[in-house]
Amino acid sequence: MQAFQTAAVIGKFARAGTCAQLLQLVRFLTERGLRVLVERHTHECLDLDGVPAADFERIGAEADLAIVVGGDGTLLTAARALAGSGVPLVGVNRGRLGFTTDIALDDMLPALAGVLDGRYRPEDRTLLQASLGRDGSTVTETLAFNDVVASRGVQGGMIEFQVFVDGEFAYELRADGLILATPTGSTAYALSSGGPIVHPSVAGLILVPVSPHTLSNRPLVVGDGSRVEVLVLQSTEGSVYFDGRGHHSLLAGDRLTVSIHPQRVRLLHPLDYSYYRTLREKLGWTG
């Protein structure tokens, strides 16, 4: 018996060849008897009759599965947009690394057939909620699936921060930046900055300094109930980014607050999925 009734298709449509693969996917789902919604920007690149375009709000309300074809960035966008809807996501890797989009493009249809038949492994991933405060007002509030990054500008010098965990002063930092990452984001920018690889089942929030002035400033993992506040003491052309996008300027006196969002993102993996195999393949581990 089929485990899902309505599937949404979300694709990184700008890449060459992707439209043909998306059309193949839509036909496959339709032939399986599913009702199909296609994310509206994805729909624009496809010549579809009888398959409706849908924004993320409609997908969240009507779909019981979202299939994302692209790279990790495409899945990050979908995860943030569908946060709170409870719609699980399946990732088909059309990018390069693909830590979260774990189904290979060549295996797309047989792997999805198994998922649609109920043969899958669910996994809940952490989301961050972040806010930037300035002069007593909130500049922005948003979600992040990978990380929140406070970073110096191209021409700017180091940023100076004070970091507080649950209201208690933790440390002062002069660095090129500070990454606050989920376990999912531990294999992204945090990894390239010397942070630890943290299994997605670990409940925690990872703080990774970027090129700190003092080598004793090391990565730190705090509990998933923690509230981290970053007070900006000095910043020239600094910015804060949420999953690499949606940047805002960072000024002296700004306060960045980050904590774990109460809702999780549910990913569905094929039964043969292995997190450690993914690490071996993507990071070139041998043995």
Q: What CATH number has the domain bearing residue 208?
A: 2.60.200.30
Yes or no: say if 149 and 207 are a contact pair by the CB < 8 Å rule: no
Active site residue 117: no
> Do 27 and 151 lie in a common domain?
no
Q: What percent of the chain has pLDDT over 70?
A: 97
How many structural domains are present in the chain?
2
122 shares a domain with 153:
no
CATH number of the domain enclosing 39: 3.40.50.10330
From the list 47, 64, 72, 124, the catalytic residue is 72
- Which tens digit of pLDDT belongs to each residue from 78-124? 999 999 899 999 999 986 767 888 899 999 999 999 999 999 999 99
Which pLDDT score, from 0 to 100, does residue 16 have? 55
Distance in Å from the first CA to the final CA of the chain? 40
Amino acid at site 133:
G
Note whether residue 1 is domain-resident. Answer: no
Does one domain contain both 45 and 66?
yes
Looking at the domain assignment, is residue 178 inside a domain?
yes
Find the domain containing 73 and state its range.
6-126+264-283
Decide if 271 is inside a domain: yes
255 in the same domain as 277: no
Quote the CA–CA distance of 137 and 251 in Å, as a whole number. 13
Residues 185 and 89 in one domain: no
Asked if residue 41 is part of any domain, the answer here is yes
- Taking alpha carbons only, the member of 247, 216, 218 closest to residue 206 is 218
Does 216 lie in the same domain as 156?
yes
What pLDDT shows up at residue 17?
A: 63
Are 69 and 149 contained in the same domain? no
User: In the prediction, which pLDDT does 15 show?
Assistant: 57
Domain match, 163 and 106 both: no
pTM of the model: 0.92
pLDDT tens-digit map of 168-180 = 999 999 999 999 9
Tell me the per-residue pLDDT of 16-67, one tens digit each, with 9 for 90 and over.
567 888 999 999 999 999 999 999 999 988 878 889 999 999 999 999 999 9
Residues 108 and 147 in one domain: no
